[in-house]
């Protein structure tokens, strides 16, 4: 084939990848919904966690602090930001201390006598009304008179104001210039996003929008906006991880190119090696888009890692080309072994497909599809785009020396057994915890940010993100009643400092029973009129001025109690909506807590209510889900290992030969575990996936070393290919092992160690006679 | 009281000068002569005329400007109340009941009063001009300054604040709310003289403020 034709095919291939990639990018939705990722919930708490995760009242809060300017300017910025966010559909609501709660409550004005606790302790009789009216006279001389006056005729007992106060945040920072300020003179705001707290994509959008609003405010350039909260941390973590991955990506790409130049003395491998892998990736994504329509972000990350095996396919081809022999011929010779590797791995990944977890099924589809396509591209497309070989890699200087050295390493027969036994002992008996169940430990938040979050949270009295108080009942009314009965006990816990603060759903909406009881205490129009007349004696109010009040009370007597559905349509509805949810046949109330000092104190509460009320530890529940997920992965991996053994044995048609391939793989994997355990590193899901990738690479090394070619030069080419593959894997993952991001470090360290061990053991455990034939 | 009077005179002249844009040198000269050393205090009598009431409401006590945006108002009669404006927040404590707090932004009347006092006593006219248009009439011996809100938000609450003064002393602050309610605050010598009737007619009290002869 001529140079022009090859270039044309190369361009078409690249264009196809780009085109398919573009199409997939348009259609595949990358979700961050944890439900795709973890197995179906088993306990009611897990179910609630999955339904409500991130939707919960606390986790959607962003805490904002503005500093770095004079107070008056900060207050203006706070008000400006509050106005902007109030208009922004990404935010449910925003508070900065200056909000007019009386206005919010006006929506529920007709229900005020049913919602306010006044009637629990008072009646609208002459005595009570007289005291109230007396106070109103005094109010009319106060600086705030104009604020009260519009309400006075309808609401002389100021129930609206009482509700506004009741619904205001329980603990508030100090007010300066009408807005909240911290002790460090930062203007404070709390914004509630509409998006779930653990939806990094939507949170990133909301945060970007927030920052844009802030930047356009006059005087914002000099001030500093600090954001905190679960959403912010998630966005920060992924941004930090991506930035570091990108940075290392540049380093490794340059290193990789230099290494290819050094190994092949040609630029051709540089422009070709990436294509099969990229083709596999876009086809994998296309399959996900076709079959599932969406993929979980973590699945994609895992899948890409596992697909890394395909990088080896074209490298093997380049190392095995010979002068005067068509590339297609060389590939054809190589193909049985390559196909064995691909098919074995694919069969193994079928176990993931059978796991029943959507995230793992996606992983299987992506990886199997990707590997098969990368293999097929290597087999049939790579020969079409590469020119004839000008160099035989077997002639690489020093290669024969390396072979001689490797072939004459001592190979005591007892070594594998010793390694195996010692390894198992270390893995089983090493101190320290085996598993890392806390996913957040892999993307840690800088300590300074955590401390700042705690400080802002305390200043704003914002709820704890870790604990929720669950109240279960058959009906919403039942939950509200339970919540009302719970309130005094919660107050006791606050008095005992077991918890700093709490917020229950009944704070917003009393149960219908309570509302009816209050309603029953409302006097009829005639009685009220008479009481009012008596109460007004000696006071300067104009006669008949309270007619709207009498009419409102009369109307309130006939109201049906306010139900959650109706309350949820009010401006405050979102608060209740997030605190009162239907689950299965029943209803759950979610009380938020701040500053949980003594989780054990809630045990008594749980006993008293016979389990209807209990403390949900979100961290604990998430971890239990992670454990369940890991169990599925481990089972899938176990089955995958068995399938792999069967496939390799079948392909090699000899258990003895299979042992030469599978033995080094198993031992190398064990050795990686030994190192990790000995270093006290708890294993996470990322370690497991990395181990799997390393094993996939190890399979290649072992298969190729085990191959009997009877041709000394072909053996040297195999060694060349393996050395290039090992070096490139060590380069990519070794650099990653230096990362400051634990998730990248986990992947890098595990794969780099794995590659090194797999290579060494493949060499040491290859049939000695076959290696030493030359020496 | 001398400081107080000097300050008021300076305010009046500055305000007039600002409006007329005449003789800016004079305003500066006067302002330069003002000693801005708070606290300054004056007795007051507040008479409120409210639509919901059938007779005026009278309270009296003392007003103190502590410098900057800090002001206090003590009501001594007919009940005890202390209201403070500090850090943009109003706190009101009446008798032994709970302290009430609210942002100053929500009580524009109190904000206008504060701005006026700050300008009168501290010579800080610029703060006042941010929210109000000033107009002045009369002479140095008898003057009237009218503050009208510049923003719609303020206009929804407040129609005008009129300050009557004689020589170097303000006498009355008349505030008209957007809903038609009004209040007249007597300060300085006028407050010391007190009211002549328990429920003075608005027109009579306004006339007394205007009529410098009395």
Pick from B52, B91, B111 the residue to mutate for testing the A interface (most A CBs within 10 Å): B52
pLDDT grade for B33, boundaries at 50, 70 and 90: very low
Asked whether residue A718 carries a pLDDT value surpassing 50, the answer given is: yes
**Minimal Cβ distance to A178: which of B81, B105, B158:** B105
B53–A541 CB contact, under 8 Å: yes
Q: What is the mean pLDDT of residues A336-343?
A: 91
Asked whether residue B122 carries a pLDDT value surpassing 50, the answer given is: yes
A67-76, A170-179, A759-768, B22-31: least confidently modelled range = B22-31
A544 touches chain B (CB under 8 A): no
Per-residue confidence (pLDDT) for residue A354, from 0 to 100: 77
Where are the alpha helices (H) located in B21-77, listed in sequence order?
Answer: 24-32
Residue of chain B whose alpha carbon sits nearest to that of A541:
B53
Asked whether residue A302 carries a pLDDT value surpassing 60, the answer given is: yes
B83–A152 CB contact, under 8 Å: no
Per-residue confidence (pLDDT) for residue B10, from 0 to 100: 43
Q: What is the mean pLDDT of residues A131-139?
A: 91
**Minimal Cβ distance to B57: which of A140, A174, A545:** A140
The secondary structure of residue A601, as a DSSP letter, is G
Count of structural domains within chain B: 1
Q: What is the mean pLDDT of residues A695-714?
A: 87
Asked whether residue B141 carries a pLDDT value surpassing 80, the answer given is: no
A216-220, A299-303, A615-619, B56-60: least confidently modelled range = A299-303
**Minimal Cβ distance to A144: which of B50, B102, B177:** B102
Cα of A548 to nearest chain B Cα, Å: 12
B52–A100 CB contact, under 8 Å: no
Per-residue confidence (pLDDT) for residue A113, from 0 to 100: 93
A537 touches chain B (CB under 8 A): no
A540–B79 CB contact, under 8 Å: no
Per-residue confidence (pLDDT) for residue B2, from 0 to 100: 44
pLDDT grade for A450, boundaries at 50, 70 and 90: confident
**Minimal Cβ distance to A545: which of B52, B57, B89:** B52
Q: What is the mean pLDDT of residues A166-192?
A: 83
pLDDT grade for A604, boundaries at 50, 70 and 90: confident
In a domain, B113, yes or no: yes
* Domain range summary for chain A, segments of one domain joined by +: 1-31+265-345+358-391, 98-171+513-561, 402-429+654-775
pLDDT in tens, A490-512: 999 999 999 988 999 999 999 99
> What's the CATH code, domain A402-429+654-775?
1.20.1640.10
Q: What is the mean pLDDT of residues A642-667?
A: 91
Phi and psi at residue B177, in whole multiples of 5°?
Answer: -80, 160
Per-residue confidence (pLDDT) for residue B124, from 0 to 100: 67
pLDDT grade for B213, boundaries at 50, 70 and 90: very low
Residue of chain B whose alpha carbon sits nearest to that of A97:
B103
A144–B106 CB contact, under 8 Å: yes
Per-residue confidence (pLDDT) for residue A612, from 0 to 100: 86
Asked whether residue B27 carries a pLDDT value surpassing 50, the answer given is: no
Pick from B63, B88, B96, B161 the residue to mutate for testing the A interface (most A CBs within 10 Å): B88
Cα of B20 to nearest chain A Cα, Å: 30
**Minimal Cβ distance to A542: which of B52, B87, B158:** B52
If one compares A475 and B6, the residue with the highest pLDDT of the two is A475
B54–A541 CB contact, under 8 Å: yes
Per-residue confidence (pLDDT) for residue B65, from 0 to 100: 84
A143–B113 CB contact, under 8 Å: yes
Q: What is the mean pLDDT of residues B55-72?
A: 88
CA A625 from centre of chain: 13
pLDDT grade for A618, boundaries at 50, 70 and 90: confident
Chain B residues in contact with A71 (beta carbon < 8 A): 87
First to last CA, chain A: 41
For strand B182-187 and strand B169-177, is the pairing parallel, antiparallel, or unpaired? antiparallel
Percent of chain B predicted with pLDDT > 70? 76
Cα of B170 to nearest chain A Cα, Å: 20
Cα of A517 to nearest chain B Cα, Å: 28
Pick from A99, A137, A141, A538 the residue to mutate for testing the B interface (most B CBs within 10 Å): A141
B27: domain CATH number is 2.50.20.10
pLDDT in tens, A431-441: 888 888 876 66
Chain A residues in contact with B57 (beta carbon < 8 A): 137, 140-141, 540
In a domain, B201, yes or no: no
Asked whether residue B29 carries a pLDDT value surpassing 60, the answer given is: no
pLDDT grade for B179, boundaries at 50, 70 and 90: confident
The secondary structure of residue A228, as a DSSP letter, is E
Query: C-alpha distances in angstroms, A594 versus A137, A462, A485, A591, B125?
Result: 39, 6, 20, 10, 46
A535-539, A749-753, A764-768: least confidently modelled range = A764-768
Pick from B96, B106, B130 the residue to mutate for testing the A interface (most A CBs within 10 Å): B106
pLDDT grade for A667, boundaries at 50, 70 and 90: very high
Asked whether residue B198 carries a pLDDT value surpassing 90, the answer given is: no
Cα of B31 to nearest chain A Cα, Å: 25
B87–A177 CB contact, under 8 Å: yes
Chain A residues in contact with B88 (beta carbon < 8 A): 75, 175-179
pLDDT grade for A609, boundaries at 50, 70 and 90: confident
Q: How many beta carbons lie within 10 A of that of residue A733, not counting itself?
A: 28
Cα of A146 to nearest chain B Cα, Å: 7
B171, β-bridge pairs: none
First to last CA, chain B: 21
Rounded to whole angstroms, the Cα distance separating A335 from A349 reads 21
Pick from A132, A142, A537 the residue to mutate for testing the B interface (most B CBs within 10 Å): A142
A177–B104 CB contact, under 8 Å: yes
Cα of A512 to nearest chain B Cα, Å: 31
Query: ω before B198 within 30° of 0 (cis)?
Result: no
A545 touches chain B (CB under 8 A): yes
Which residue, A269, A185, A295, A198, is CA-closest to A237?
A: A198
Rounded to whole angstroms, the Cα distance separating A15 from A18 reads 5
Rounded to whole angstroms, the Cα distance separating A367 from A348 reads 11
**Minimal Cβ distance to A142: which of B53, B55, B81:** B81
Rounded to whole angstroms, the Cα distance separating B29 from A211 reads 47
Residues B18-57 as b or e (16 or more Cβ within 10 Å = b): beeeeeeeebeebbeebeeebebebbbbbbbbbebbeebb
Per-residue confidence (pLDDT) for residue A173, from 0 to 100: 81
pLDDT grade for A71, boundaries at 50, 70 and 90: confident
- Provide residues of B within 8 Å CB-CB of chain A: 46, 48, 50-55, 57, 59, 73, 75, 79, 81, 83, 85, 87-90, 92, 94, 100-110, 113, 157-158, 177, 179, 181
Chain A residues in contact with B87 (beta carbon < 8 A): 71, 174-177
In a domain, B93, yes or no: yes
B88 contact partners, CB below 8 Å, separation of at least 6: A75, A175, A176, A177, A178, A179, B69, B103, B104, B105
Helical pair A655-678 and A618-652, crossing angle rounded to 10 deg: 150
A144 touches chain B (CB under 8 A): yes
B157–A177 CB contact, under 8 Å: no
Q: Could you tell me the residue range of the domain that residue B17 belongs to?
A: 2-194
Q: What is the mean pLDDT of residues A723-733?
A: 91
Residue of chain B whose alpha carbon sits nearest to that of A151:
B52
Mean pLDDT over all residues of chain A? 87
If one compares A93 and A527, the residue with the highest pLDDT of the two is A527
Per-residue confidence (pLDDT) for residue A104, from 0 to 100: 57
Chain B residues in contact with A143 (beta carbon < 8 A): 73, 83, 85, 90, 92, 107, 109-110, 113
> Do A215 and A224 meet the contact criterion of CB atoms below 8 Å apart?
no
> Do A322 and A389 meet the contact criterion of CB atoms below 8 Å apart?
yes
Cα of A67 to nearest chain B Cα, Å: 17
Asked whether residue B106 carries a pLDDT value surpassing 80, the answer given is: no
pLDDT grade for B24, boundaries at 50, 70 and 90: very low
Residue of chain A whose alpha carbon sits nearest to that of B184:
A141
A156-175 residues touching B, CB cutoff 8 A: 174-175
């Amino acid at each position: 084939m001529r140079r022009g034709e090859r270039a044309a095919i190369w361009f078409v291939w690249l264009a196809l990848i780009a085109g398919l990639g573009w199409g997939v990018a348009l259609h595949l939705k990358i979700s961050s919904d944890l439900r795709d990722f973890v197995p179906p919930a088993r306990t009611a708490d897990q179910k609630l966690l999955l339904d409500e995760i991130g939707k919960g009242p606390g986790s959607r809060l962003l805490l904002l602090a503005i500093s770095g300017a004079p107070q008056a300017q900060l207050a203006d910025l706070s008000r400006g930001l509050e106005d902007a966010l109030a208009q922004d559909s990404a935010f449910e609501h925003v508070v900065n201390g200056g909000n007019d709660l009386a206005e919010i409550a006006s929506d529920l004005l007709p229900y005020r006598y049913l919602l306010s606790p006044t009637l629990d302790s008072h009646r609208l009789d002459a005595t009570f009304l007289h005291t109230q009216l007396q106070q109103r006279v005094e109010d009319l001389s106060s600086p705030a008179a104009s604020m009260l006056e519009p309400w006075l005729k309808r609401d002389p007992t100021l129930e609206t104001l009482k509700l506004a106060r009741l619904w205001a945040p329980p603990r508030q920072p100090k007010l300066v210039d009408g807005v909240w300020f911290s002790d460090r003179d930062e203007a404070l705001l709390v914004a509630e996003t509409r998006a779930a707290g653990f939806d990094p994509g939507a949170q990133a959008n909301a945060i970007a929008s927030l920052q844009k609003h802030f930047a356009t405010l006059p005087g914002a350039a000099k001030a500093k906006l600090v954001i905190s909260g679960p959403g912010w941390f998630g966005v920060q973590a992924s941004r930090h991880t991506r930035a570091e991955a990108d940075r290392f990506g540049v380093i490794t790409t340059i290193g990789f190119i230099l290494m290819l130049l050094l190994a092949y003395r040609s630029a051709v491998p540089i422009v070709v090696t990436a294509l099969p892998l990229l083709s596999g990736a876009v086809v994998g994504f296309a399959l996900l888009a076709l079959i599932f329509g969406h993929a979980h972000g973590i699945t994609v990350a895992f899948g890409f890692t596992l697909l890394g095996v395909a990088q080896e396919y074209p490298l093997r081809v380049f190392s095995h080309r010979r002068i005067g022999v068509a590339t297609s011929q060389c590939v054809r010779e190589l193909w049985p072994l390559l196909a064995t590797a691909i098919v074995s791995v694919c069969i193994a990944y079928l176990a993931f497909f059978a796991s029943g977890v959507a995230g793992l099924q996606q992983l299987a589809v992506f990886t199997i599809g990707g590997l098969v396509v990368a293999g097929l591209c290597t087999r049939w497309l790579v020969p079409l785009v590469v020119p004839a070989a000008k160099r035989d890699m077997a002639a690489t200087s020093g290669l024969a020396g390396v072979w001689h050295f490797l072939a004459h390493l001592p190979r005591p027969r007892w070594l594998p057994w010793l390694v195996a036994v010692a390894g198992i002992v270390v893995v089983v008996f090493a101190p320290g915890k085996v598993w890392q169940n806390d996913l957040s430990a892999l993307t840690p938040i800088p300590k300074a940010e955590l401390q700042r979050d705690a400080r802002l949270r305390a200043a704003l009295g914002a709820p704890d993100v870790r604990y929720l108080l669950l109240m279960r009942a058959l009906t919403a009314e039942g939950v509200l009643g339970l919540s009302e009965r719970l309130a005094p006990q919660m107050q006791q816990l606050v008095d005992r400092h077991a918890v700093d603060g709490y917020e229950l759903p009944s704070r917003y909406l009393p149960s219908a029973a309570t509302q009816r009881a209050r309603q029953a205490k409302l006097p009829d129009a005639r009685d009220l009129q008479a009481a009012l007349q008596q109460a007004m004696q000696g006071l300067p109010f104009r006669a008949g001025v309270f007619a709207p009040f009498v009419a409102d009370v009369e109307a309130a007597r006939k109201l049906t109690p306010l139900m959650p559905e109706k309350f949820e349509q009010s401006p405050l509805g979102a608060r209740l909506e997030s605190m009162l949810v239907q689950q299965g046949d029943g209803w759950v109330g979610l009380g938020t807590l701040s500053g949980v000092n003594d989780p054990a104190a809630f045990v008594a509460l749980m006993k008293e209510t016979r389990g209807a009320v209990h403390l949900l530890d979100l961290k604990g529940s998430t971890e239990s889900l992670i454990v369940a997920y890991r169990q599925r992965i481990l089972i899938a991996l176990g089955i995958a290992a068995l399938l792999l053994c069967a496939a390799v044995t079948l392909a090699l048609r000899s258990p003895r030969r299979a042992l030469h391939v599978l033995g080094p793989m198993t031992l190398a994997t064990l050795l990686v575990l030994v190192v990790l355990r000995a270093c006290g590193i708890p294993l996470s899901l990322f370690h497991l996936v990395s181990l799997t990738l390393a094993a996939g690479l190890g399979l290649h090394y072992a298969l190729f070393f085990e191959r009997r070619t009877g041709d000394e030069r072909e053996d040297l080419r195999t060694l060349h290919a393996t050395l290039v593959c090992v070096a490139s894997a060590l380069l990519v993952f070794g650099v990653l092992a230096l990362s400051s991001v634990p998730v990248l470090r986990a992947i890098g360290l595990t794969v780099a160690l794995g590659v090194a061990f797999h290579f060494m053991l493949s060499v040491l455990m290859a049939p000695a006679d076959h290696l030493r034939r030359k020496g | 009281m001398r400081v107080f009077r000097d300050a008021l005179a300076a305010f009046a002249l500055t305000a007039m000068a600002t409006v007329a844009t005449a003789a800016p040198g004079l305003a500066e000269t006067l302002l330069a002569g003002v000693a801005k050393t708070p606290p300054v205090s004056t007795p007051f009598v507040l008479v409120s005329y409210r639509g919901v009431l059938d007779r005026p409401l009278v309270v009296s006590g003392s007003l103190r400007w502590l410098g900057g945006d800090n002001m206090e108002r003590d009501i001594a009669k007919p009940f005890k109340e202390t209201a403070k404006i500090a850090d943009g927040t109003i706190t009101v404590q009446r008798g032994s009941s709970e302290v009430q707090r609210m942002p100053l932004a929500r009580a524009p009347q109190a904000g206008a009063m504060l701005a006026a006092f700050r300008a009168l006593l501290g010579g800080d006219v610029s703060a006042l001009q941010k929210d109000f248009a000033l107009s002045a009439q009369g002479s140095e011996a008898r003057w009237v300054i009218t503050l009208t809100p510049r923003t719609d938000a303020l206009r929804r609450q407040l129609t005008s604040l009129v300050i009557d003064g004689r020589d170097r002393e303000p006498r009355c602050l008349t505030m008209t709310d957007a809903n038609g309610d009004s209040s007249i605050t007597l300060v300085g010598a006028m407050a010391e003289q007190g009211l002549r009737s328990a429920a003075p007619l608005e027109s009579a009290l306004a006339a007394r403020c205007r009529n410098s002869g009395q």
